[in-house]
Amino acid sequence: MVAMFVCSTYSSAVRGQGNIRKSRTVSDRNSITRRIFVGASIAAIAIPAGRAGAQSGTAQSGTISGHVVYRERMALPPGAVVNVRLVDVSLADAPSRTLAETTVSAGTGSPIAYRLEYDPGEIKDRARYALQARITIGDQLLFINDTHHPFESGNSGEMEIQVVRAGGSDGAIQSPTGKWLAEDIQGGGVIDRIQTVLEISEDGAVSGSGGCNRFAGKATISGDTISFSPLVSTEMACSPAVMDQEQKFHAALVATKAFRIHPLERKLVLLDGAGKAIARFSAM
C-alpha cells in the first residue's frame, strides 16, 4: 500500500510538472506572437509614413526658357542686359503683378537666351499671364516688346519674345517730337496695361491715346517751352480707373508750359507754369 501511494504521488508530481511545462510553452508562444504582431503593426505604420514624407517634398519650380530677339542686324554695346518678366495681366484697370523676373547679359545681341523660374502654385486657371522683355544699358532703354506674349501653364517648348527698337534712333533726344509712353501722370504713376501715348510730329501735330480714347490737336514749341491747343477726342467709355487716368492726362497737357529732355534716359518731362513736373514719358 505504501509503495502504491508513493508511486501515485510521484506520477501526480510528474504530471503536474508536465502541465507546468506545457503552460509555460503556451505562454511563451503567446508572448512571441504578441511581439511579432506589435512589430508588424509598427512596420505597417512606418512604411506609409515614409512614403508620405517622400511625397510631401518641396514642390518643383516651373521653368520658362527661350530667346529674346530683334530684327535689326546690329551688335549691342558692352554692358547691355536683358530683363524678362512673367506678369499677371488679368485686371485691365490695375497694374500688372510680377510673378517672376530674371536679368541676364545681352552678350553681343540677338538672339539672347533666357531662363526664368516661377512658382506653378501662383498660376491660376482663370487668370491671364504674359511675358515682357526689355534690353537696357544703365538707365537707357534700347529695346522693348510692343506686342502681347501670352503664357499658359503647361506651355512646352521655347518661348520667343520679339522686341523693337526704343526711340527709333541712335542719337540722344533733344526735341519733344516723337512718340512717347507715359510713365507718370501728376505724381500718381500709371496703370501698367493701359498705354497712354503722346505723339508729336515735326509740324506740331499732336495725336495719341489717353488709354481709352484717341485724341488729336496741335503743339506750339519754342525753345524749351511748349503748349497744347484744345484736343479733339473720341468719346468711348472705359472703366472708372482708366477714365480717371485719361482725365488727369488731358489736364496735364492743358497745364503744360515747358518741357525738359533727359537725353541718355530718353525721357520727356512736361512742366507746368511753376516748373513742376506734371507728366513723365519714355521714348517708344
What pLDDT score was predicted for residue 95?
66
What pLDDT score was predicted for residue 234?
95
Beta strands 258-262 and 267-271 are antiparallel
Domain ranges of the chain: 62-165, 178-283
Query: Among residues 189, 182, 180, which one has the least CA distance to residue 241?
Result: 189
Common-topology check for domains 62-165 and 178-283: no
CB 100 within 8 A of CB 116: yes
Task: Please name the residue that has the C-alpha cell 509740324.
Answer: 203
> Distance (Å, rounded) from C-alpha 60 to C-alpha 33?
45
* CATH class of the domain comprising 62-165: mainly beta
CB 103 within 8 A of CB 81: yes
Residue 206 has pLDDT above 50, yes or no: yes
Q: With a threshold of 0.75, does the pTM exceed it?
A: no
What pLDDT score was predicted for residue 69?
93
Between 22-31, 96-105, 166-175, 199-208, the lowest mean confidence (pLDDT) is in 22-31
> What DSSP element (H or E) covers 86?
strand 81-88
Q: Look at 229 and 27; give whichever has higher pLDDT.
A: 229
> Distance (Å, rounded) from C-alpha 246 to C-alpha 273?
21
Q: Look at 89 and 218; give whichever has higher pLDDT.
A: 218
Q: What one-character DSSP code corresponds to residue 236?
A: -
pLDDT confidence of 23, banded at 50, 70, 90?
very low
Highest average pLDDT, of 32-46, 85-99, 208-222, comes from 208-222
Q: From residue 184, how far is each of 146, 187, 282 by CA, in Å?
A: 19, 6, 10
Residue 74 has pLDDT above 90, yes or no: no
pLDDT averaged over every residue in the chain: 78
pLDDT, mean of residues 217-238: 92
> Distance (Å, rounded) from C-alpha 140 to C-alpha 74?
17
What's the fold here for domain 178-283? Answer: Lipocalin (2.40.128)
CB 245 within 8 A of CB 196: yes
pLDDT tens digit string along 82-138?
999 998 888 766 667 889 999 999 998 899 999 999 988 888 888 888 899 999 988
Q: Which residues pair with 131 in a beta bridge?
A: 86
pLDDT tens digit string along 262-271?
765 678 999 9
